[in-house]
Amino acid sequence: MSTLSEAFLQSFQLIFYLDDTLVEVVLLSLSVTFKAVSLACFIGFPLGTALAVLSFPGQKTLVVLFNSFMGLPPVVVGLVVYLILSASGPLGPLGLLYTPAAMIIAQTILVTPIIVAHSRQIIVLLAEEYDETLRSMQATRMDIMCTLLWDSRFSLFTTVLAGLGRAFSEVGAVMIVGGNINHFTRIMTTAIALQTARGDLALALGLGIILLVLTISINALAYWLKSTWERHSYA
Amino acid sequence: MHKTRILDLSEFSEQKNKKASIICSSLTFQKGEKTILSDLSVTFPRNGISVIMGPNGAGKSVLLRTIIGLLTPNSGCVLLNPEYAGRTALVFQRPVLIRRTVYGNLHHALGIAGVPRKERRKRIEELIAIGGLTGFENHPARSLSGGEQQRLQMVRALSSNPKLILLDEPSASLDPQSTLAIEEIIKSTSEKGVKLVLVTHDIGQAKRLADDVTFIHKGKILEQNISPDYFNSPSTPEVKSYLAGDLLV
């Protein structure tokens, strides 16, 4: 019991005094996660919109696949990315393995299906509502997709949050492709796993607390922004 | 499935068809087991306001949607005068405005119509004045009253400078003042040479606006006549009953 309370006390000290190791790990985590989620949104939003609007052979199969991939096991993704980026893999010459870039790739693969599936679900509802109006205006497919994407922007915020949640909490894939190298590819989740195994509960707890606070803060900020923007944009 | 719309048809080069705006030829539209349009053929004149009347479920809205290409008939085809190619608009009974401000809705419509960005502001100001929506520019479109929303939908339809506008009961369930405003826009648009086809249940409105009236019942055209003759001397018992206020089953 005393070990636990000591660990809590030390963890708060680390946070309060902005411990260098802790700050470094947090900043790298934020950088990798935000880059991966941005990339996933860049790929996922147009793809989700296309799946909602266009009809082509294999569309339903793609929808089922993306829905299924929302639950992709991170370690399997990590393994596949590892094989592709390893020295003998097709992208081996790029030398990306055990770099933050490899971690971004792995997280992007994990988050993209979430963005695609959620955005398709949101946009398909709006597409039903707008369908006749936009077609009667002789809107092109591209016009329709841009309109739906823009008008769904507030609802799509929740999709981004789901992606952030997945990326922040992910450990398996980034551990495999990043290697958890100190001062280079160590992020919050991998550091927590390592420090817990080592028995350094103070740092693990400190990182855990920051991870929780960050997740709650981002959700709260997003909720506030969404409701404010919505109020000012349309009824 | 047959083609819904064929433009630039040689038929329109024939002298008699130059006076036509829309030719519907043997249209049949079925939804499940129910036949909504049954081998329907009708030609709408080139100018003025054509009104389509008929009881609920007669197929009026389906006919409009088929004309503009939102629905594909099971058989038959719709021929549009080539001058309307890409210059049509449809005004719905229940306006679906996009989730933007009044200004945003018109800006979006002008964008789709291909109006250059720098010309849009001036055009929006003109449209807002036509719709009597001055002062509402920055209001969320969906927070407007029913009449204001319908006026916005009307001017949004005008944004692409259409030559043919189809209106599906645009003033249904609106108060008299809003109905008057809508009718003013319809009249002034018609005076500018735009062809209008209006579906309405309102006999008074048909009398006020129609140049010619087409009566549709159970997916078939029962009567088509110029406005005074249609109201003064209907030739079918169904139209007589309808104008007398009887229920048509």
A137 close contact with B: CB closer than 8 A: yes
Q: Closest-CA residue in chain B for A129? A: B96
How far apart CA B116 and CA B87 sit, in angstroms, is 17
Residue A233's pLDDT is 62
pLDDT for B105 equals 96
- Beta strand B20-31 pairing with B34-45: antiparallel
Q: Per-residue pLDDT for B86 more than 60?
A: yes
- How far off is chain B from A131, nearest CA to CA, in Å? 9
Structure token digits, residue A169 = 């909490």
Of B68, B99, B101, Cβ closest to residue A136: B68
Measure A74 CA to nearest chain B CA, in Å.
38
Interface predicted TM-score (ipTM) over 0.90: no
| Helix then strand then coil, % of chain A, to nearest 5 | 80, 0, 20
Chain B neighbors of A135, CB-CB under 8 A: 69-70
**What is the nearest CA distance from A134 to chain B, expressed in angstroms?**
9
Map out the domains of chain A with their CATH numbers: 29-200 (1.10.3720.10)
**Chain A window 145-184: which residues touch B at a Cβ cutoff of 8 Å?**
147, 151
Asked if B111 and A143 come within 8 Å (Cβ–Cβ), the reply is: yes
Task: With beta carbons under 8 A apart, name residues in chain B contacting A151.
Answer: 98-100
- Is B70 in contact with A235 (Cβ distance < 8 A)? no
Minimal CA separation from A56 to chain B, in Å: 19
Q: How far apart are CA A12 and CA A230, in angstroms?
A: 37
Q: Could you read off the pLDDT of B139-193 as tens digits, one per residue? A: 999 999 999 999 999 999 999 899 999 999 999 888 999 999 999 999 999 999 9
In percent, how much of chain B has pLDDT > 70? 93
Regarding pTM above 0.95, the answer is no
Of residues B86, B96, B108, nearest to A138 (C-beta) = B86
Within chain A, which residues score under 50 in pLDDT?
A: 1, 235
Distance CA B171, CA B205 (A): 9
**Contact between A173 and A77 (Cβ < 8 Å):** yes
* Alpha carbon distance A96, B202 (integer Å): 72
- Kindly tell me if the per-residue pLDDT of B14 is higher than 70: no
pLDDT digits (tens, 9 = 90+) for B91-145: 999 999 999 999 999 999 999 999 999 999 999 999 999 999 999 999 999 999 9
With beta carbons under 8 A apart, name residues in chain B contacting A129: 96
Q: Is B160 close to A233, i.e. CB distance below 8 A?
A: no
